[in-house]
Amino acid sequence: MNEDKYLLFDQYLQGELSDEAQLDFENQLLENPELASELNSFKEVQLQLENKFAFASERNAFEANLKNISDAHFKSGKSKVISLKPWTYLVAASVVLLLGLFLFNPSKPGFEDYNQYENAYLTERGDEVANLKQAEIAFNAKDYKTAIPLFEAILKEKKSPEIQYFYGISLLENDQIEKAEVVFNEIKSGNSVYKNKAIYVLALAKLKQKDYKGCQEILLTIPADYENYNQVQELLDRLD
């Protein structure tokens, strides 16, 4: 966003435009959704500044402070000093505010940060081998919608924790969360090598639903000897 646009936004919000200029600007907002979105972002920054720093009452002091900083650090020779327009301090304040909010109020982790799975290598033999190969290819290509009916056909013939595990992931990635949780809870109740993997993906299912407390509670049940415990610990740290 250029400085002229910032200045126009500020004048509009402060009611400093003439009636004709205000009407023209509002017509532009109606015709240009991107411009309207930029104005909303500008308003949000101003609001946060007012809430965070009592910006309305401290604006002059803040501007003077930044002016002193610019005088001290942006000199070229003895007499040439870069001049900053008053509204430019608003932009600087916005950067400080947004950076501060990011550092001190980090966002919660997202499901997409952790839904990286091992590839499926299905080596079963028998009548279901064709479906197995197709399911393996679909899963590894992240084509979960195609993989689901293939896994279901296989599981009708032979149920194994390995097939259930990749089937459950496919359901989860296809937003069939309740069905996925049923599958993972069944694996969890057994003692296969997929038990702790299933518990971890159960936690991811809670994360996908933004149930951070539920996610944390499940993660805490995973033993430290789990092969990917570093991921468990990382996610727990981010949930604190």
The residue-averaged pLDDT of 55-77 equals 53
| pLDDT exceeds cutoff 70 at 4 | yes
DSSP string, 76-96: ETTTEE----TTHHHHHHHHH
Which one is predicted more confidently, 177 or 1?
177
| pLDDT exceeds cutoff 50 at 56 | no
Length of the chain measured in residues: 240
| pLDDT exceeds cutoff 90 at 84 | no
pLDDT band, residue 17 (cuts 50/70/90): confident
What is the model's pTM?
A: 0.57
| pLDDT exceeds cutoff 50 at 83 | no
| pLDDT exceeds cutoff 60 at 54 | no
| pLDDT exceeds cutoff 60 at 127 | no
pLDDT band, residue 16 (cuts 50/70/90): confident
Is residue 45 within 8 A of residue 97, CB to CB? The reply is yes
CA angle, 44 as apex, 43 and 46 as ends, to 5°?
Answer: 65
CA gap 122, 20 in Å, rounded: 71
Chain Cα centroid distance, residue 97: 20
Is residue 140 within 8 A of residue 120, CB to CB? The reply is yes
Each residue of 26-36: pLDDT tens digit? 888 888 888 88
Is residue 62 within 8 A of residue 18, CB to CB? The reply is no
Rounded mean pLDDT of the chain?
80
pLDDT band, residue 82 (cuts 50/70/90): very low
Domain residues of the chain, as ranges? 3-104, 111-239
Q: What is the dotted CATH code of the domain comprising 111-239?
A: 1.25.40.10
Each residue of 129-153: pLDDT tens digit? 778 899 999 999 999 999 999 999 9
Is residue 74 within 8 A of residue 88, CB to CB? The reply is no
CA gap 169, 128 in Å, rounded: 20
> What is the reported pLDDT for 1?
44
